[in-house]
Chain A
Amino acid sequence: MQNNHHKERLYKILVIGDLGVGKTSIIKRYVHHNFSPNYRATIGVDFALKVLTWDQETVRLQLWDIAGQERFGNMTRVYYREAMGAFIVFDVTRPASFEAVTKWKEDLDSKLTLANGKNVATVLLANKCDQGQEVLTNNGIKMDQFCQENGFVGWFQTSAKENINIDEAANCLVKHIIASENDMLQSEVPDTINPQLEKEKRGTCSSCFRSQ
């Protein structure tokens, strides 16, 4: 962990939200730079990998594309494990998918926390903004307020179809993930020894040599 400057960073990022809001499309746009109206419905979970250069470091993002139907929520505990960040996506043309955002956020926060007990960085995506129906998000101040109240680090109007704001949203998330990671590293006091009493594991004299 000391060799921060040359290490590769690998982050697991979740993409969640109601079904049909465009999670798969966002990932395909971000990773493969294309869009198709013919993606299959995701069943269970799918994966994609994006490699970025960030401050001369290589950052690998492992994107987890999670099925949107409610009943797959029974498996989310396994999907969420060890994630460092998340996108919660809704469809601007469907108010119900926005109402589900808080439900997804609660599910996420209840099942996943960082080592320091904090929630993972989460960015809200208002997708399909190319459809000209962004009544929901016209009021930017209200959206900012919503993000603040619900613990999102930011929000973006996106369109996977027209490639609007996808890279920007991802950069925002990565920035916050790195910040929270640094935060955690700093909270650990370096170069300290934590002596512990382990009655069970008292070794023989020769084990002193083995351990170094």
Chain B
Amino acid sequence: MERLDDLRVEVARQREMKWLDMFCHWDKWVKHRFQKVKLRCRKGIPSSLRSKAWQLLSDSQKLLEENPGKFEELEREPGEAKWLDIIEKDLHRQFPFHEMFAARGGHGQQDLYRILKAYTVYRPDEGYCQAQAPVAAVLLMHMPAEQAFWCLVQICEKYLPGYYSAGLEAIQLDGEIFFSLLRRTCPMAYRHLKKFKIDPILYMTEWFMCIFSRTLPWASVLRVWDMFFCEGVKIIFRVGLVLLKQMLGSVEKLRELQGMYETMERLRNISPDTIREDVLVFENGRVCVLTFIMNLTLYLQSVFFLFFFCTVRFMRASNGTETMPV
């Protein structure tokens, strides 16, 4: 057992060394060996280096460097009362049991207020959307407020453009795209949802807008975010499809879901066990972590998927906002 622990520490240390090496020559890695970066993100970024990695992957570090003092400047602005009012009401309602955000007026809630307010000053036309708060909170768990702010900017503008905008059109459109993808990847789940008239926005809104931060067990959330920062929104689609396949993908599973309410209940409260079953593979008495997303990636990499995905996202890009590589 002791030897096993030593081995694990050794593996973790090697991973950290690899990541530190990538940090030293980051631009070269991204330009010439992106596949390797992607693979390493899929294996999970070492937690000690996650903060730096997210900032590099999202290019938010560059944005920060290009805009010295900008965050402070935004903070000094008074901000619009209608946004500040809503933000204040949400501060104690994000990860209420996380030690950082549990205390009313504690430093976590203060920082959350700072970055959400700064964003409404930065993009007055966008304002504040309630789904931004959990995203900002996850970022704050990993980095200081200024860094978290620029990372949030990248998520809202580069990764998920339009998701938090006033009309919420982008998320509704992605809901429809998601549903058509489901039809091809898991017809059984698709037919079940169709039969009970369960519109995609009833379950995927929170999944997508909060990047699963309120949906999955914490270890999985971080792994999903590692991949999301590297590969973009398609990761959200894939995770969503795997979840539906896990929960609605077989006759036995559907047998107990004989109604709209039962189905929604299942989708709203994903039991960690249903995920863990697929996440963990027991091998020689040793727990080998194999994320369900890895399976999913292999599963979904059909030519058709990529083609369809490119087409639809490209259609959306006609708004001039889409920049994610597929």
Nearest residue (CB) in A for B197 is: A81
Given A19-B130, A75-B201, A40-B89 contact (CB < 8 Å): no
**Which B residues touch A46, using CB under 8 A?**
268
- Residues 120-161 of chain B, each 1 if its beta carbon lies under 8 Å from chain A, else 0: 000000000111011000000000000000000000000000
Query: CA of A45 to CA of B261 in the docked complex: distance in angstroms?
Result: 13
Residue of chain A at shortest CB distance from B198: A78
The dominant DSSP class at the B interface is helix
Within 8 A of B (CB), among A28-61: 37-41, 43-47, 49
Chain A residues within an 8 Å CB radius of B129: 69, 71
Q: A43-B131, A71-B166 are in contact. Are A20 and B96 (CB under 8 A)?
A: no
Residues of B within 8 Å of A74, CB to CB, are 167-169, 172
* Residue from A20, A44, A47, A72 within 8 A of B89 (CB atoms): A20
List of B residues within 8 angstroms of A39 by Cβ? 93, 96
**B89–A19 CB distance below 8 A:** yes
Tell me if A67 is interfacial: C-beta within 8 Å of chain B. Answer: yes
Q: Tell yes or no: A119 within 8 A of B by CB.
A: no
Does B205 have its Cβ within 8 Å of any Cβ on chain A?
yes
Contacts A19-B89, A75-B205 known; A41 to B261 CB distance under 8 Å? no
**Does A62 reach chain B (CB closer than 8 Å)?**
yes
Does the CB pair B167–A71 fall under 8 Å? yes
Chain A residue numbers with a CB within 8 Å of B93 are: 38-41
The answer on a CB contact under 8 Å between A49 and B168 is: no
- Asked if B63 is at the interface of the complex by the 8 Å CB criterion, the answer is no
| B210 surroundings in chain A (CB, below 8 A) | 43
Count of A-B residue pairs with CB < 8 Å? 72
Interface size class of A (residues with CB under 8 A): 20 to 34
Across the interface, A40 reaches (CB within 8 A) one of B94, B166, B202, B264, namely B94
Q: Is the CB of B261 within 8 A of A49?
A: yes
- Asked whether any CB of chain A lies closer than 8 Å to the CB of B199, the reply is yes
Most B Cβ at <10 Å: residue of A19, A41, A67, A69: A41
Chain A residue with Cβ nearest B97: A38
Question: Least Cβ distance of A182 to chain B in Å?
Answer: 24
Residues of A within 8 A of B201 (CB): 44, 75, 78
Task: Tell me, yes or no, whether B86 is within 8 Å of chain A by CB.
Answer: yes
Establish whether residues A78 and B202, one from each chain, have CB atoms under 8 Å apart when the complex forms. Answer: yes
A38–B166 CA distance with the chains assembled, in angstroms: 27
Contact A19:B86 (CB < 8 A) given known A41-B94, A49-B261: yes
Bound-state Cα–Cα, A19 to B92, Å:
13
Contact B205–A41 (Cβ < 8 Å): no
Note all chain B residues with C-beta closer than 8 A to A49: 261, 265
Nearest CB in chain A: distance from B111 CB, A: 17
A43 pairs with B202, CB closer than 8 A: no
**Once the chains bind, are B202 and A45 in contact (CB under 8 Å)?**
yes
Docked Cα-Cα span, A39 to B97, in Å, equals 10
Chain B residue numbers with a CB within 8 Å of A78 are 199, 201-202
Q: Whole-angstrom distance from the CB of A64 to the nearest CB of chain B?
A: 9
The yes or no answer to B241 lying at the interface (CB within 8 A) is: no
Which of B96, B199, B202, B261 is the one whose CB lies under 8 Å from A38? B96
The interface residues of chain B lying within 8 Å CB-to-CB of A67 are: 130
Separation of A69 and B131 alpha carbons in the complex (Å): 10
CB within 8 A of B130: which of A69, A79, A81? A69
The CA-CA distance from A156 to B298 in the complex, in Å, is: 55
A71 to B129, CA, bound (A): 8
Q: With the chains together, A20 CA to B85 CA distance in Å?
A: 11
CB distance from B6 to the nearest CB of A (A): 41
Contact of B206 among A20, A43, A62 (CB under 8 A): A43
Contact A47-B264, Cβ < 8 Å, known A71-B168, A78-B202: yes
Complex Cα distance, B83 from A71, in Å, reads 12
Chain A, residues 65-85, CB within 8 Å of chain B (1/0): the string is 001010110110011010000
CB pairs A–B below 8 angstroms (11 shown):
A19-B89, A20-B89, A43-B209, A43-B214, A45-B202, A47-B265, A67-B130, A71-B129, A71-B168, A72-B130, A75-B205
- A-B residue pairs, 3 tightest by C-beta: A44-B205, A38-B96, A20-B89
Interface, chain B (partner A; CB < 8 A): 86, 89-90, 92-97, 129-131, 133-134, 165-169, 172, 197, 199, 201-202, 205-206, 209-210, 214, 261, 264-265, 268
